[in-house]
Structure 1
Amino acid sequence: MDIGRSPIWLATMLALVLAEAGWRLSQRRGYDGRAALTTLGLVAGNIPAALLNAVVLSAVYGFAARLAPVHWPLGDWRTWAIGFVAVEFAYYWFHRASHRVRWLWASHSVHHSAEQMTLLASFRLGWTNLFSAGWAFYVPLVLLGFPPVMVVTLLAFDLRYQFFLHTEAVGTLGPLEWVFNTPAHHRLHHASNDAYLDRNYGGVVILFDRLFGTFARVRREEPIRYGLAHRTPTANPVRLAVREWSAMLGDAAKARTLGDLGRALFDPPGSHDRSAPARPVEKVI
């Protein structure tokens, strides 16, 4: 999630978070105040990380733009229309890799740590996104000539849109469910049930999940459980930020061959956890 800087946007998010908390309490679903404090701790730690990201990525994307053989006009609506599809496509593969590659999951796992699906939980972000290099998935778009400012703006829109997906207050949305990522689709994405792992990666649209076989719906016989599969819950934001890195680098330190090292760093999450089964091979549900 992109926290955003607009006072109106911040006020809107705060109002919705408070309204959702009231709804959850009125529906006797409960609202975990300790988890909320954990999220705020993660947000505080992410502020300097976000500033560093902005400095480094502006330089990286600027350099890539200078290498581009063509440059799409920023003022042309067609650039934005095609760019939207391109950013959604890149986001889908970034998000999918973030669940299937341990190096990326070390950062992304923080976002899945909440055991309640709430709007506030959407702000749970790792502090190591620059290091895990998920941003590299968007470099090809800049090399293809899309203006960096457009790529960043569309990605920010994508992430702000997802704020509204982190809630149980909204049911299904009829025909919109076929095209757009919705709260119903995203709730399943956050499930820790083995049957639901690694599904519904889309940002604004759900079309690439349908196209590439990663789309799934909740089954009545298996209610969603939130949180991290095969991980003990913790309210410590520092532990959440470094736990997966610590486990991964510990396994890497034990590697005896380059193959062992590669598997320790890039295998699916859970592959080296003796207390849990390896992450299942992706299949269509």
Structure 2
Amino acid sequence: MNFEWLISHPEVLLLALAPLFFVCILLEWLVRNRLPVNAQYHGVEVACNFALAAMHQATDLLAGLLIAKLYLWLFDWRMFDIQMTVVSFIALIIAQDFCYYWFHRASHRIRWMWAAHVVHHSSENMNFSTAFRQSLMYPLAGMWLFWLPLVVIGFDPNWIVFVVLLNLGLQFFVHTQAVKSLGFMEYIFNTPSHHRVHHGRNPQYIDKNYAGVLIIWDKLFGTFEPEVDTVEYGITKPVNSFNPLTVTFAEWRDLLADVSQPHLTWRQKIALLLSPPQASNTIENSGSDNNNLVDEKTTV
């Protein structure tokens, strides 16, 4: 496998990185006795995490065929012809990470998107295998929409997909409790400490540290929170299941039940889809006015 072939087939990047991921999992497992209880590996949960990863990968490959056609069509309308050099590659990495920040933030603040993203947060443990906990519903939730500006600007779609997957691959390494601090890197990059906060259900940690690779976006847009108190992992509305199908569709089931209530107006139904995760009776009691919505804080 050479680099040119990889750029032409960026969808295999995470598979190419899989051996490195498994080495990290093995090393973390070997030092498990030095780690907190909620960093331990439990067979049934690890199996669930791997199943979720496989389902996510399969769906991404299938959906990617359609999304690639859209990206290529939009690429014909691009603003600039950007040639890939070292400088433009770095610019793409930074631009994509900026887009990822807003995708990630939207995934916590829009219930339709949270229904997919909640899968990643539903574990009450934090170890490298937690990074595999992904949803097959991301294409339906609209993750791909956030990279469209990069195509319109003029970055080659293959390079965009490569950088998106590279970003996700790098995020694997922040899902651990084995690393406490990375010194000066904490000021610029997303680190295990920053990401542990993001997975916390402690009130002060909810909806914080959306960073992909660079933590600077959280600091710029007011969503940064340092790790101070011990992190409690998971969500405030637990799924309580290791069945990958239950984990995947639990929030979609609840969302469908909420929007199917017959007494809701269409405006209220749309508000349920687009508002932050909340108690199902909030919109019922708000009439047609959506200005008084109060978050249930089910996001982490």
Asked if Structure 1 and Structure 2 have the same fold, meaning a TM-score greater than 0.5 normalized by the shorter chain, the answer is yes
Among candidates 170, 178, 186, match of residue 195 of structure 2: 186
Please, which of 262, 276, 283 is the counterpart of residue 268 of structure 1?
276
CA RMSD in angstroms comes to 2.0
Question: Over residues 229-249 of structure 1, what are the superposed CA-to-partner deviations in whole Å (9 max), with x where a residue is unaligned?
Answer: 222421111011111111111
Change (3 A) 1:15 1:207: same
Deviation at 1:61, TM superposition (A): 1.0
Q: Show CA shifts across 1:13-46 (max 9, x none).
A: 1111011112113546332222111112212322
Candidates 220, 224, 238, aligned match of 2:245: 238
Q: CA-to-partner distance for each residue in 1:68-92, whole Å, 9 max, x for gaps?
A: 1322112x22221221221111000
- The change in CA–CA distance for 1:150 and 1:121 in structure 2 (over 3 A counts) is same
Tell me which residue corresponds to 2:288. Answer: none
In 1, Cα distance between equivalents of 2:278 and 2:133: 21
Alignment of 1:84 with 2:101, yes or no, is no
Residue number in structure 2 paired with 1:39: 49
Task: Identify which range, 138-147 or 62-71, moves more after superposition.
Answer: 62-71
* CA distance, structure 1, for counterparts of residue 99 and residue 279 of structure 2: 26
Closer/same/farther in 2, CA of residues 34 and 157 from structure 1, 3 Å limit = same
**Conserved in 2, the CA contact under 8 Å of 1:98 and 1:108?**
yes
Task: Give the 3 Å change call, closer, same or farther, for CA 83–267 of structure 1 in structure 2.
Answer: same
User: Which whole-Å deviations, capped at 9, do the CAs of 1:221-275 have from their partners, x for residues lacking one?
Assistant: xx2111122224211110111111111111111162122111111110134278x
Q: Which amino acid aligns with 1:58?
A: A
Q: Is the 8 A contact 1:193 1:229 kept in 2?
A: no
Asked if 1 retains the 8 angstrom alpha-carbon contact of 2:82 and 2:88, the reply is yes
Find out whether 1:157 has 2:159 as its counterpart: no
Q: Does 1:11 align with 2:31?
A: no
* Structure 1 partner of 2:140: 131
Matching residue's letter, 1:25 = N
Q: 1:262 to 1:180 in 2, by over 3 A?
A: same
Residue aligning to 1:67: 77
Say if 2:35 and 2:177, in contact at 8 Å, map to a contact too.
Answer: no
Give the letter for the 2:278 counterpart. Answer: G
Q: 2 CA distance for matches of 1:71 and 1:98?
A: 31
Q: Is the 8 A contact 1:249 1:265 kept in 2?
A: no
Question: Quick one: which of 48, 52, 60 aligns to 2:62?
Answer: 52
After the TM superposition, which of the residue ranges 47-56 and 15-24 deviates more from structure 2? 47-56
C-alpha distance in 2 between matches for 1:155 and 1:28? 32
Deviations 1:104-153 (CA, angstroms, capped at 9, x unpaired): 00111101111111111101111111111111011011111111122112
Pair 1:121 & 2:121 matched? no
Q: Which amino acid aligns with 2:130?
A: A
1:90-101 → structure 2 map (5 Å cutoff): 90-101=99-110
Is the counterpart of residue 227 in structure 1 residue 237 in structure 2? no
2:73 & 2:296 partners in 1: Cα distance?
37
Q: Which amino acid aligns with 1:71?
A: D
- Please say if 1:22 is aligned against 2:23: no
Distance across 1 between alignment mates of 2:57 and 2:169: 17
Asked whether the equivalents of residues 115 and 227 of structure 1 are also in contact (C-alpha less than 8 Å), the reply is yes
Equivalent-residue separation in structure 2 for 1:62 and 1:226 (angstroms): 40
Deviates more, 1:28-37 or 1:209-218: 28-37
After superposition, the Cα gap between the structure-2 partners of 1:81 and 1:43, relative to the gap in structure 1 and judged at 3 Å, is closer
For residue 295 of structure 2, the aligned residue among 278, 281, 285 is 278
8 Å Cα contact 1:188-1:196 kept in structure 2: yes
In structure 1, list runs of 5 or more residues that go unmatched: none
